[in-house]
Amino acid sequence: MVNSGTEHTVKAFDTDINELRGMVAEIGGRSEQAIAKAMRALEKHDLKLAAQVVEEDKLIDELEKRIDDLTFQTIALRAPMADDLRELIATFKISGVVERIGDYAKNIAKRVPVIASTHKLGPASLLPSMSNVASELVRDSLEAFARRDADLALEVSERDQVVDDFYTSIFRSVITYMIENPKDIGEAAHLLFIAKNLERIGDHATNVAEMVYFAAKGEPMPERDRGENPTDLLEE
Amino acid sequence: MTELIDSNSSIESPNMTASTAPAISAGDGPLKMTTRNVDVFYGDKQAIKDVSIDVTMDNVTAFIGPSGCGKSTFLRCMNRMNDTIPIARVTGEITLEGEDIYAPDMDVVQLRARVGMVFQKPNPFPKSIYDNIAYGPRIHGLANSKDELDNIVETSLQRAGLWGEVQDRLQDSGTALSGGQQQRLCIARAIAVDPEVILMDEPCSALDPIATAKIEELIHELRGKYAIVIVTHNMQQAARVSQRTAFFHLGTLVEYGVTSEIFTNPTEERTRDYITGRYG
Amino acid sequence: MNSSATMTGKRAPTDWHSDDMQRRIRKRYASERRFKALGLAAIILSASFLAFLLVVMVGNGLRGFTQTELPVEIDFPAMTGGASANQFTGPNGAANLQSLGVRDIVNASIEIQYGEEGKELFSGGGWQSVSSQILENPDIVETKTTVYLPAESEIDVAYKGDGSADAEKMVSTLDDKLTTGFNWNFLSNSDATDPMQVGIWGALKGSLITMFITLAIAFPVGVFSALYLEEYAPKNRFTDLIEVSINNLAAVPSIIFGLLGLAVFLNIFGLPRSAALVGGLTLALMTMPVIVISGRNAVKAVPPSIREAALGIGASQMQVVFHHVLPLALPGILTGTIIGMARALGETAPLLMIGMRAFIATPPSGIVEPATVLPVQIFLWSDEVNRGFVEKTSAAIIVLLVFLLTMNALAIYLRNRFETRW
């Protein structure tokens, strides 16, 4: 059900909603960029770029706060109903989730100085690909929000499976590496954390997709099958 | 009741559209009044088209819709107040406890005692507070002694939440009360004749927010004792006060369903447009 | 003027302080002052008409309440031959008084004091006041007392300054003996040929009875008609016709009702001529449309919210009408009734037509006995040749006005009692 067509009789309501949508698009864009920059900094061991990511996270936090304020105000003053209400609640939750995505990107950037420049990514060579997929998930989930596209949201939630699979694979190879190269455990541990962050980013993108689905349909997204549970691997 | 409407379950939502009889799912309580295929004509002009709706004992039902959509007209059919308008004509079936209220052998006077009405502008009689409440029981012969009558007056005023404010000035004129008190007096007056259904036609539109809140609270308390139908043009009030909501538009019933569903996820586009403020 | 329709259609800002505006303000104030002045002038004019009427009437009529009296010394023991007081007390007193022959005693005493022609100085029926004095206070028959008897009409008129030359001469000779006393008899006597003996009681009683009959017929019929027309009658052409007829009836000249009364009540029904019943019926016909019209308006003015409230708790149509509509409409209905009754009280023409113009010497004791009413009495007295009737006519007018005021005051009191504030 698309929210287009007639406008509200009180035009200021539309103005507020459009402003909010704009801000959500902005915070999504910034988080995406943060992920991309952090990964590039990791690959190139670019310490300046990494520091930039950490610094720019402040903007993301500020933006989230502004979105919260405007959402509160709109709910209080406009008494929204039905799909307007669902959209505002979704906006509120999504901004928090996207802010956390930004935090994960910052976390990745923080680990860049710790990982030695001489080493390639080694066992975690799949990390760039994983981050691409995760990035795409974030982009697509916000695209679904902008278009109120429940089908795209559903698709995003299913594609998260790919990120999870990446994580499982990287996890395995890093653990193996750790066993074989005990002196590099420190760095390897950081690589694990980075992989985990990306996996969490994928999950958060799924959260956004679930919010989008609810806002558009008025019902929660149906449960999906989860893939292999990484914790099962330890028993091997 | 564990079978309450559960939005996560697969029971179909009772949101119904026009011209199908609304399904009453489990947990709705006993049926009090039913209407089937009701049309209302004022001369040649048709004001109500084919409305079918049920009113149950345990749920407060709200009628919402834009001005002129016919919600007040339909409400007035339910206690035959449209009889006072010579050019009004009502077809279809309306029953109270299974009896057709338009049958020739139905006594309109008794019907109006069983189906009470509260109006938009408070209209107490120009008599004392006591006499306002006592009038109904007197003319219907509901009290056999002065003590019984006193009892009825006191109970009605208590149920209407007015007893504490007027108990020591029952002989004062009913019109000397404030607007909110007058409306509660009118509600007490309707309660005094022991009705089964109470119809309220925009009862709060002439009142300030505090008086409105008191009346809404009163409706909460009366729920279950009487089947209540409230017409309101204030959507937030309908959302606060009712458990079932019916949306009228241009004389037809567009959508009828559980209030929380109607206001968070309505089925019909017209309903959505109206409640989100996109109408007109 | 700020008229500036530019090409874009924008208005120039209005200059509220311009000269034009100031002129408009002054003109407006001036017209308001003029209007207030006109209103005040109208009120003053009507008030002065009223004052003029009252002053002239009261001025003329007050003298009708007084009578010129001459003293007569009556030596009862000598005249009656020793009658005792207790003869005239108790139930036999009146009978004994008859046989006493008070009239001759009085005439004899007059002769003694004023000579052979003395009787002519006095009003013929004056001796009756002596009789009533004896009944009131029987002791005087054992004493010598001086009674004041009313003088003859010409002397009375002359003493009040309006008489013929001979009478004036008589007055100057009797000057030191003449006094003025209050004419109580005016209020208790009925019509008579001697202006000194006339009273308005007969006509007043006739008016009261006629008014009572008029009210008893017109009020219920009028009120019920109004209620039916407003509450029950279907709105169709037939009821429109009835409404138009009633409105026209209220404007019909009253003498036509007299003709109607003559034709129907006297000729067809054969009711006794000049009876209060017939007068009441005729006036009721005349008053009823006024009550119906004001009743309908009063009922129309009852707010529909009260009716809806009553219907809403299950009152039947009749209960709505009698418990709610009628009490609220009553002040308006009573106002219409007051207006109607006041008009009926002053009507002369229709009553003349049905014959209530006879000479009624005794007040009527029932509704089928011949009677007359105050306005007719005034009309008849104004026709009399005898000068003495002039002031009596004005005095009767004063009585009529007082009666009218009392009736209105009573009705207004009743209306205020019923007026519920809502």
Of A201-215, B118-132, C329-343, the poorest mean pLDDT is in: C329-343
- Name the least confident of A172-181, B194-203, C118-127: C118-127
SS3 state of residue B49: strand
Q: Which residue has the tokens 């109970």?
A: B155
pLDDT at A7 over 60: yes
Q: Smallest CA–CA separation between B102 and chain C, in Å?
A: 16
Residue B135 has pLDDT above 90, yes or no: yes
Cα distances (Å, whole numbers) of residue B12 to A215, B16, B23:
20, 10, 10
Three-class SS of chain C: CCCCCCCCCCCCCCCCCCHHHHHHHHHHHHHHHHHHHHHHHHHHHHHHHHHHHHHHHHHHHHHHHEEEEEEEEEEHHHHHCCCCHHHHCCCCHHHHHHHHCHHHHHHHHHHHHHCHHHHHHECHHHHHHHHHHHHHCHHHHHCEEEEEEEECHHHHHHHCCCCCHHHHHHHHHHHHHCEEEECCHHHHCCCCCCCCCCCCHHHHHHHHHHHHHHHHHHHHHHHHHHHHHHHHCCCCHHHHHHHHHHHHHCCCCHHHHHHHHHHHHHHHCCCCCCEHHHHHHHHHHHHHHHHHHHHHHHHHCCCHHHHHHHHHCCCCHHHHHHHHHHHHHHHHHHHHHHHHHHHHHCCCHHHHHCCCCCCCCCCCCCCCCECCCHHHHHHHHHHCCCCCHHHHHHHHHHHHHHHHHHHHHHHHHHHHHHCCCC
Helix B146-159 to helix B129-140 angle, to the nearest 10 degrees? 120
Residue in chain B lying closest to C311 (CA): B112
Which chain C residue shows the shortest CA-CA distance from B134?
A: C313
The predicted-structure confidence for C45-91, as pLDDT tens digits, reads as follows 999 999 998 898 888 788 778 888 888 888 877 777 767 777 777 77
- Using CA coordinates, name the residue in chain B closest to C235: B86
> What ipTM, to 2 d.p.?
0.86
Residues 6+ apart with CB under 8 A from C31: none
pLDDT of residue A120: 67
**CB-nearest partner of C316 from B109, B125, B192:** B109
A and C in touch (3+ CB pairs within 8 angstroms): no
Task: Tell me B204's DSSP state.
Answer: T
Q: What is the pLDDT of residues B29-71, one digit of tens each?
A: 788 999 999 999 999 999 999 999 999 999 999 999 998 889 9
**How confident is the model at residue A234, as a pLDDT?**
54
B6 — pLDDT class (breaks 50, 70, 90): very low
- pLDDT tens for each residue of C134-166: 777 777 777 788 888 888 777 777 777 767 777
Tell me which residue of C305, C116, A61, C147 sits closest to B183, measured CA to CA.
Answer: C305
What are the pLDDT digits (tens) for B202-222?
A: 999 989 999 999 999 999 999
> C109 is written with which tokens?
């005493």
Tokens of C331: 């002040």
Measured distance CA(C379)–CA(C7) in Å, rounded: 80
Yes or no: say if C209 and C372 are a contact pair by the CB < 8 Å rule: no
- pLDDT over threshold 90, residue A104: yes
Weakest-pLDDT range from A130-139, A183-192, C7-16, C255-264: C7-16
Nearest CA in chain B to C313: B113
How far is Cα A125 from Cα A185, in angstroms, rounded to an integer?
16
- Tell me the C-alpha distance between A191 and A174, whole Å: 8
Is the pLDDT at B5 greater than 50, yes or no?
no
Between C10 and C20, the more confident residue is C20
Residues of C in contact with B111 (CB under 8 A): 314
A22 vs chain B: nearest CA distance in angstroms?
21
- Name every residue in B having a CB less than 8 A away from some CB of A: 7-8, 235-236, 239, 263-266, 272-273, 275-280
Tokens coding C283:
């006036």
Of B7, B236, B280, the CB nearest to A9: B280
* C284 pLDDT higher than 50: yes
Using CA atoms, how far apart are residues B268 and C305, in angstroms rounded to an integer?
37
Contact assignment for B277 to A13 by CB distance below 8 Å = yes
- Chains in touch with A (3+ beta-carbon pairs under 8 Å) read B
Average pLDDT over residues C350-374: 83
Of B8, B236, B266, the CB nearest to A82: B266
Q: Please tell me if residue B174 touches chain C, with a CB cutoff of 8 Å.
A: no
Enumerate the residues of chain B whose CB falls inside 8 A of the CB of residue A214.
Answer: none
Question: In B, which residues are within 8 Å of A77 by CB distance?
Answer: none
Give me the residue label for tokens 């200021």.
Answer: A12
CB contact under 8 A, A86 and B236: no
CA distance C285 to C296: 17
Two structure tokens written together for B128: 């004392």
Closest CA to B60 of B264, B234, B244, B280: B244
Pairwise CA distance, residues B129 & C25, whole Å: 51
Given a cut of 60, is residue B196 above it in pLDDT? Answer: yes
Check residue A116 and report its DSSP letter: -
Calpha distance C384→C377 (Å, rounded)? 11
At C199-244, the pLDDT tens digits run 888 888 888 899 999 999 999 999 999 999 988 888 889 989 998 9
Q: Which of B188-197, C64-73, C75-84, C328-337 has the lowest mean pLDDT?
A: C75-84
Tell me what the pLDDT averaged over chain B comes to.
88
pLDDT value of residue C9? 74
Pick among A74, A78, A81 to test the B interface (most B CBs inside 10 A): A81
User: Could A6 and B278 be called an inter-chain contact, meaning their C-beta atoms sit closer than 8 Å?
Assistant: yes
Q: What is the mean pLDDT of residues B153-164?
A: 93
The beta-carbon neighbor of B263 closest among A5, A6, A81 is A81
As a whole number of Å, the end-to-end CA separation of chain C is 48
Q: Which residues contact A82 (CB under 8 A, 6 or more apart)?
A: B263, B264, B265, B266, B272, B275, B276
If you measure CA to CA, which chain B residue comes closest to A8? B278
Say if CB C388 and CB C153 are below 8 A apart: yes
Please give the order of strands across the beta sheet that includes B115-118. Answer: B16-17, B252-258, B244-249, B61-64, B227-231, B197-201, B115-118
Chain A interface with B: residues with Cβ < 8 Å: 5-10, 13, 79-86, 218-220
Query: Tell me, what DSSP letter sits at residue A111?
Result: H
Cα of B166 to nearest chain A Cα, Å: 36
What is the pLDDT, as a whole number, of residue C421?
A: 52
> Which of B264, B276, B279 is opposite residue A218, by nearest beta carbon?
B264
pLDDT at B16: 47
Beta carbons of B278 and A218 less than 8 Å apart: no
> Closest Cα to residue B229, out of B55, B30, B32?
B55
8 Å CB contact between C214 and C285: no
Pairing state of beta strands C144-150 and B45-56?
Answer: unpaired
Q: Cα distance from C327 to chain B (closest Cα, Å)?
A: 10
* pLDDT more than 70, % of chain C: 96
Residue C421 to residue B109, Cβ atoms within 8 A: no
Beta carbons of B113 and B139 less than 8 angstroms apart: no
- Higher model confidence: residue C365 or residue B228? B228
Judged by DSSP in three states, B128 sits in strand
Q: Do B126 and C235 touch (CB under 8 A)?
A: no
Tokens of C3: 């008229």
CA angle B93, B94, B95 (to 5 degrees): 120
Residue type present at position A50: A
Between residues B86 and B189, the one the model is more confident about: B189
Q: Which of C306, C314, C421 sits opposite B109 (nearest CB)?
A: C314
Q: What is the pLDDT of residue A44?
A: 87
Q: What is the pLDDT of residue B18?
A: 46
B121 touches chain C (CB under 8 A): yes
Q: What's the pLDDT at C105?
A: 81
**Residue whose entry in the numeric block shows the structure tokens 């019916």:** B246
Asked if B136 and C313 come within 8 Å (Cβ–Cβ), the reply is yes
Specify the pTM. Answer: 0.79
Partners of A215 on chain B (C-beta within 8 Å) are none
Residue B90 has pLDDT above 90, yes or no: yes
Q: In the predicted model, what is the mean pLDDT of residues A92-108? A: 95
pLDDT over 80 at C358, yes or no: no
> Hey, which bits of chain B come out as E strands?
16-17, 31-42, 45-56, 61-64, 88-96, 99-100, 115-118, 197-201, 227-231, 244-249, 252-258
Q: How far apart are CA C260 and CA C249, in angstroms?
A: 13
Query: What distances in angstroms separate CA B181 from CA B135, B193, B212, one per listed residue?
Result: 18, 19, 10
Which is nearest to B81 in space by CA: B48, B36, B118?
B118
Contact C314 B112 (CB under 8 A): yes
Mutate to test the interface with C, among B112, B118, B198 (most CBs of C within 10 A): B112
Mutate one of B75, B109, B142 to test the C interface: name it (highest C CB count within 10 A).
B109
**Is the pLDDT confidence value at C101 over 80?**
no
Q: Is B25 exposed, middle or buried (0-12, 13-18, 19+ CB in 10 A)?
A: middle
Residue B22 has a pLDDT of 53
**Chain A interface, best mutation among B274, B276, B279, by max A CB count within 10 A:** B276
Which residues in chain B touch residue A218, judged by CB atoms under 8 angstroms apart?
A: 264-265
Q: Are residues C314 and B119, on separate chains, in Cβ contact within 8 Å? A: no
**Bridge partners, B40 (sequence order):** B48, B90
C229–chain B nearest CA distance, Å: 16
Question: Could you say which of B113, B123, B125 has the minimum Cβ distance to residue C314?
Answer: B113
Instruction: Give the tens place of pLDDT for each residue, C174-186.
Output: 777 777 777 777 7
Mean pLDDT, chain C, integer: 84
How deeply is C20 buried, as exposed, middle or buried, from its count of CB atoms within 10 A (0-12, 13-18, 19+)? exposed
Mean of all residue pLDDT scores within chain A: 89
Cβ atoms A38, A112 nearer than 8 A:
yes
DSSP classification of residue A232: G
Which residue did the predictor score with more confidence, B150 or C192?
A: B150
Which residues of A fall within a CB distance of 8 Å from B239? 81
Q: How many CB atoms lie within 10 A of CB C329?
A: 25
Locate the chain B residue with the closest alpha carbon to C305: B123
What is the pLDDT, as a whole number, of residue B27?
55
Minimum distance, in Å, between the CA of residue A221 and any CA atom of chain B: 11
Confidence category of residue C414, pLDDT binned at 50, 70, 90: confident
Taking Cα atoms as reference points, which of C280, C286, C275 lies closest to residue C210?
C280
Please tell me the distance from the alpha carbon of residue B188 to that of residue B164, in angstroms, as a whole number.
13
CA-to-CA separations, A93 to A100, A207, A217, C131, in angstroms, rounded: 11, 9, 17, 116
Q: Measured between alpha carbons, how far is B53 from B63 in angstroms, rounded to an integer?
A: 11
List, in order, residues 6 or more apart from B147 with CB less than 8 Å away.
none
Residue of B nearest to C421 (CA): B126
How would residue A232 be classed by pLDDT, with cut points 50, 70 and 90? Answer: low
Q: CA–CA separation, C290 vs C226, rounded Å?
A: 10
pLDDT at C103 over 50: yes
Question: What does the pLDDT average to over A186-210?
Answer: 93
Question: Alpha carbon of B124 to those of B111, B120, B212, C307, C312: distances in Å?
Answer: 21, 12, 18, 11, 12
**pLDDT recorded at residue B20:** 47
